[in-house]
Amino acid sequence: YVLWLLAQSGLICLGPMEGKQQTFVLLDEWVPDSPELPKDEALARLALRYFGGHGPATVRDFAWWTGLSMKDAGLGLELAKDQLHCEKNGGREFWMSRSAAQAAEPMPHAALLPGFDEFFLGYKDREDVLDPKYVESVIPGKNGIFQPIVVKDGRVAGTWKRTVSKRGVEIHVHPFEKDGLAENDVSAEIRRYSAFAGLPVLATNMA
């Protein structure tokens, strides 16, 4: 409670980990001074950064993620849109950085993402990437706890978890639909995770 109070009052913030222990640092020493921006410039910068990191996204997504009013979110987008790219789909406008729109490299066929990943968490409208009937599988009990997800061709196709031991790691993949995921869909991602964790994969379970 004391640490929470000191953080909320702007005296401290999270610092680097020391082993398994979280450290705290003085905010004034850890975060350099930043200039105060006029409101319009601040909104434009925020819009550029959000759509640059989350695009394609809508202005409703931007307002939800930032906590801005729709009026201010719309103003930020209006001020920044000459530096963004827009695609229209289903009567909605989706904004993204120009570099993302011009990217030639295809997205991975499948990805194993952690819980609370911005791919899923960073948007108000999530039906574009997840069938509503599977929301309970990703957010059991709708209690704010998000399960790690498997994304295939841009849509959430299942959940996954790991079981770690001294010998290695077991990967458990739970497809939403019987034929929605196969082991070869995620095999490359599992190898990447194994290399990242520095652990051999003992088994891959699909159920």
Give 10-residue mean pLDDT values along the chain (207 residues).
Answer: 92 92 92 88 97 94 96 97 94 92 72 92 89 93 89 93 93 90 88 92 89
For residue 75, how far is the Cα from the chain centroid?
24
Q: pTM of this prediction?
A: 0.78
Tokens found for residue 21? 């222990």
- Residue whose C-alpha is closest to residue 149's, from 189, 93, 196: 189
Reduced DSSP (H G I as helix, E B as strand, rest coil) percent helix, strand, coil of the chain, to 5: 40, 30, 30
pLDDT of residue 125: 85
CB within 8 A of 147, min separation 6: which ones? Answer: 115, 137, 138, 139, 140, 159, 161
Distance CA 135, CA 131 (A): 7
pLDDT of residue 11: 94
pLDDT of residue 42: 97
